[in-house]
Structures are given as C-alpha cells and as structure tokens.
A and B are shown apart, each in its own frame.
Chain A
C-alpha cells in the first residue's frame, strides 16, 4: 500500500487533556513553531499508522469559535483554511455541558469530527453514566472514550480517525435548528450569499449564521471580497 498523508487537527477546551492526547499520539516526533504572523505557539507532530503518515496539529485550547479572541480565530481558520482530514475534539467527559459547545460549533462548520471523550476515569469516579452510542448518534459523529493520562483509548482513536478518512465511518453531523425566525433569516441570507465568492470556500449556511452572530472576521472577509 502506498504511504498516504493525512492531517488531523486536535481541538478542545483548555484543561481537557489535549496536550496529553497530543503527546500520546506523536511521542517524541514533535516540533514547536508559531502560527503564521502571530506569536501563538503552534505544535505539530507526526506518526505512522496502518500505512498512513499522520500529521497532527495541536490547535489552541478554546471554549468557542467566535471571533472574540486570537486563539479562537486561529483554531477556526485552521479548520476552514487548511481543511484537515479529521478534526479530533478532546472533550472532558466530566464536564460535558461546557465542552460540547465547541463540538457543536465544529459540526456546524462541517468539520469531519471525531469526539475523543477524555477523562472517562474522572467521570466514572463521579458515577456519571454516559451513553456513548447515543451521544455519537445525536451528534452525528463518532465518539471514542479515552483516559489520556493512562494512554487508554489511543489505538481506538487512531482506528476511528483512519476509518473516517477511509469513509468506513460516516460523519453525518447534525443540523442545529436555531428557531423558526432565525431559520427564516438564515434562508434569506443564504440566498444572497450563494453567489458571493466566499461561498466557494465556506458553506453558505455557516456564513449566514456567522453574519447573524455579527462575527467580526467574517464581516471583514465580506468587505474585503467587495474590494477585491
């Protein structure tokens, strides 16, 4: 089999154990640089698995993907601009409510998402019962339980990532309903957006949502598109 290159991006909230997962995946094959143009640290690493050469990019730890902080913009731009083959979202299983917010936003962007349900041991010690299958079904994305601190689940995670790349595992995503009135406005905006050059790169639904969120970066992109 020919060696194939794939890129995966690691996303996740701060303190979700993202760095530990990154170390588990890449071991010593890491190098640290900066994100282009900014002084935010960018960590990359690589590994080989089942004939794939996998490049792993560690995104800044963020809670959300708005345009309010540099970290959030970097994480978002990477997912949109570099279009990684898979985005792995490290989710703290003991704090699902807050952590899933990022996962939902990644799915809204249409990312090929794999949810790594980390800190399963903490969740279990608190006697939380998490129905992993149901979570995966409702999100429309594969979910892999992990205990990164004990390097448990890393193989399963890699299998799932490769499965997604091979199209053996489907990431259908979910279509979030924002409420009738908001949906009507999204539909209107999608129609006017669909002919704009930006819609070649981004989904017009996502652009419409971002416009309604008054996302600085996206508005700027529209303004630039006008000049160019």
Chain B
C-alpha cells in the first residue's frame, strides 16, 4: 500500500484515539506497558512490609491508609474549623466593639441621610463583613499550613480512589481544595489538569467548594443559632459542598462530558515543616483579596444597596422574588434581597442584612432571628442556599474566560440555582418533620 495512504490512516487513527481518550495515543500505549508491568509485578515481586521507612513514609502509612485516609482528612478539616472559630472570637469582639463605638456618634451626623449612609451603610454594611476578617485570615493560615506541609497533596491522593470511581482523577482535587480559599484561583488552577474533559468537569463543580467569602454568612448564623456547635455547623457546610461537588462531577462526567479520563501517577512530595514566613505570605496572598474586595466591590455594592433601601426600592424587589423561597423556609423579602445582591459577591449577603436591620454587628444574628422569626432549621437551609446558588460574578467571569464561551458559565448559574433551591428546600421540609 502507498505510504501516503498509510500516514493518512495513521493521522485518522490518532485523531480518533485523541477523541476517545482525550490523550495522545503515545501516552495511552506507554500506560498499557506500565500497566502490564505493574500487574506482572503483583504476581512476581514481594517486597518486605517494613522497607526502611522514612518518617514521611511512616506518616503516609497512616494518613494514606485505605480506611483511615478519608476520616483523617475530614477530622483535619473539622479541627481546622473548630480552631479557626475558637481563636477568632476575641479578635471579632474587638472589631465589633470598635464599630459599635464608631456607630454611635455617626448616627448623629446631620443631614440625616449622611448619618444613615455612614452608620447603616458603611458601618452596618461593610462593617458587618469586616468583622469576619479574623475568621477568614485564621482559616487561610490553616489552609496554608496544610498546603505547605505537603498534606494537601495527600488529601488529593486519598480522594484519588474515590475520584476515580466517579471518573475523575485525584489531580482534580487540588484545585477543588484551593476553592476553599477562593473559587477564582481554583478555577485557574484547573489548567494543571491535562485531560480537557476532566478539566471542564472540575471547573463546573469548583463553585460548590465553599470559599472564604461565604464564611461570614456561616459565621453570622452559626453564632446566632448554633452557639455550642458553631464549628460543627460550619464544617458541615464545607462537607455538603465537597459531597455535592463529587456527586455533580460524577453526573457531569457520565452524562455531559463523557470519555476516558487521564492517567497519571499522583506525585507525593515529602512532608516539610512549613515556615512561618511562608505560611504568613500565603495567608496574606489569599486574605489580601478579601480586604481589597471589602474596600472596593463590597463597599460600592453596599452603598448602592443602601441607596435602594433609602429610596424604599429594596422591599418591592425582595417581595417579587421571596415566594420562590417559601418552600425552603426563608420566604421573607429581606432574605430574597440579600440573595439577589449576594450574586455580586457572597459577603454582600451579610452586608445587606447589616443595612436592612441596621443594628450593631454583635446583635445582627439575634435581630434576624426575632424579626424574621427564623429557627435554626431555616438558618441552616439559608446557609446551604448561600453556599450552593450562583457563585459570585468574579467566578462566573473566570469560568467564561477559561472555557471561552458563555455556554458553561450560563450552565453553572442555572444548575447551581436549581441545586441550591432543591437542597435548601429538602433541608427545610425534611427537617420540619423532626424539629
């Protein structure tokens, strides 16, 4: 046969294999060889159980254990949240007192609208968000320690088995974990995933990972409604996020973006003692964004919302939407308003509550409870809704940029809205049967 025809047939085969595997045929063939060898060695080679273990190996034996791996990972996360909350309480009290001290003279400023803008808008709105800066920074310190020590790579390795079962690779888990900080860099980090289908799936579910901006919402309601179980309640939000991300990834991977996944060896870097400078640098890199947002987007959005409130336009907007949320328990117009503006940035949910109720930050949670008649169950359903529904504008914009089309950000907005409503409604309706 003519060589030209052969080379043409080769190109066709390669294109076909690339479509099927999402990977170069060369890689698939090399993997087949390694697969053959590792299968063969299972029968042929026995290594002693104790093979001169390094400290790293010894830690890994426990941390990567088939049965203990995931519980340990969850326990570490839980411990992280408990610690974050316990340590941040005194700092939050100081900031709260500081704003309270500022609010009193501010409300006396004339003309009255300026006094209202400063005390209700700035202090009530931006202040209620800034109160949570200590929680966020402490959480970021914890995340940085996990990352710098090498544990995050282990968490990905542990999740690898589970991820494989849902058709994703453990490598997808690192961007997801980064999503705890902020979804935007997490979505950008998916570039390390070589398989385009794995990457798209990861991008689609990353918004379900609870980011730092959602933390103030949990912190606000956990403190007001779940005093004794704050850490546990907030941890459960993160757990819901991870669980949903995994379920949705499985659904997307098996229905929407079918095809073979990538095959990689999971790299496990040796453990390192994190340095203080390194941890603080990472904390600052992540936390800085939050402060900048508070000073820019949150600030301007809050002023805008204050203006609408001052003009009496918030209530009609809220009333138009609120009935949708009645099945989920939070059908009050105030809740609807906070959720609408929360799309701009999730912290705004708290800021908007601050404007609407114009009370001292420390009392905001209780005020919501009494004025809206919320129970812990409703607060919990609302927290779940806040976690799941539409990530912020910045995340939507980055999804558009990374997928290079409006199709996928549109899809994310749609599915997270429906999913958030469903989960919140389920929590409320099922919870009502027991409470």
Contacts and interface: CB of A to CB of B under 8 A. Distances in A.
Interface of A: 96-97, 100-101, 104-105, 126-131, 134-135, 138-139, 174, 176-179, 181-182, 185, 188-189, 192-196, 209, 211-214, 219, 222-223, 225-226
Given A101-B33, A192-B9, A96 B45 contact: yes
Contacts, number: 115
Contacts of B26: 212-214
B38 interface: yes
A129 to B, nearest CB: 4
Interface stretch (B12-20, B135-143, B171-179, B418-426): B12-20
Contacts of B10: 189, 211-212, 219
A212 B20 contact: no
8 contacts: A130-B44, A178-B29, A182-B32, A185-B16, A209-B29, A212-B25, A223-B3, A225-B3
A96 B41 contact: yes
A177 B46 CA distance: 25
B37 A104 contact: yes
Contacts of B51: 126-127
A226 B28 contact: no
Nearest to A182: B28
A193 B47 contact: no
Contacts of B6: 189, 192-193, 196, 211, 222
B44 A138 contact: yes
Nearest to B40: A138
A54 to B, nearest CB: 29
A135 to B, nearest CB: 5
A97 B38 contact: yes
Contacts of A223: 3, 7
Given A101-B33, A126-B51, A213-B29, A192 B1 contact: yes
A188 B33 CA distance: 21
Contacts of B44: 96, 130-131, 134-135, 138
A126 B17 contact: no
B45 A104 contact: no
B5 interface: yes
B3 A131 contact: no
Interface in B279-294: none
A215 to B, nearest CB: 9
B99 to A, nearest CB: 62
Given A128-B45, A138-B44, A188 B7 contact: no
A60 to B, nearest CB: 20
Chain A interface secondary structure, helix, strand, loop or mixed?
helix
B312 interface: no
Contacts of B47: 126-129
Contact of A128 (B2, B25, B34, B46): B46
Nearest to A176: B36
Interface of B: 1-7, 9-10, 13-14, 16-17, 20-21, 24-26, 28-29, 32-34, 36-38, 40-41, 43-48, 51
Given A181-B21, A219-B7, 6 more contacts: A100-B41, A130-B46, A134-B44, A179-B32, A182-B17, A182-B32
A138 B40 CA distance: 7
A222 B9 CA distance: 12
A97 B13 contact: no
Contacts of A189: 6, 9-10, 13
Contacts of B1: 192-196
A213 B33 contact: no
A140 to B, nearest CB: 11
Contacts of B46: 128-131
Nearest to A218: B10
A183 B51 CA distance: 39
Residue from the set A105, A209, A212 with the largest chain B CB neighbour count within 10 Å: A212
B18 to A, nearest CB: 11
A213 B31 CA distance: 12
Contacts of B25: 182, 185, 212-214
Contacts of A105: 33
A12 B244 CA distance: 50
Contacts of B33: 101, 104-105, 176
Contacts of A222: 3, 6-7
Contacts of A188: 9, 13
A195 B6 CA distance: 10
A138 B3 contact: no
A64 to B, nearest CB: 9
Residue from the set B1, B3, B34, B38 with the largest chain A CB neighbour count within 10 Å: B3
A130 B3 contact: no
Contacts of A177: 32
Given A222-B3, A222-B7, A127 B13 contact: no
A214 B3 contact: no
A181 B48 CA distance: 38
A138 B20 CA distance: 29
A179 B28 contact: yes
A24 B68 CA distance: 51
A195 B37 CA distance: 33
Nearest to B52: A126
Contacts of B7: 211, 219, 222-223
A181 B41 contact: no
A138 B3 CA distance: 36
A206 B20 CA distance: 22
B28 A178 contact: yes
B404 to A, nearest CB: 27
Contacts of B3: 196, 222-223, 225-226
Nearest to A222: B3
A75 B38 CA distance: 25
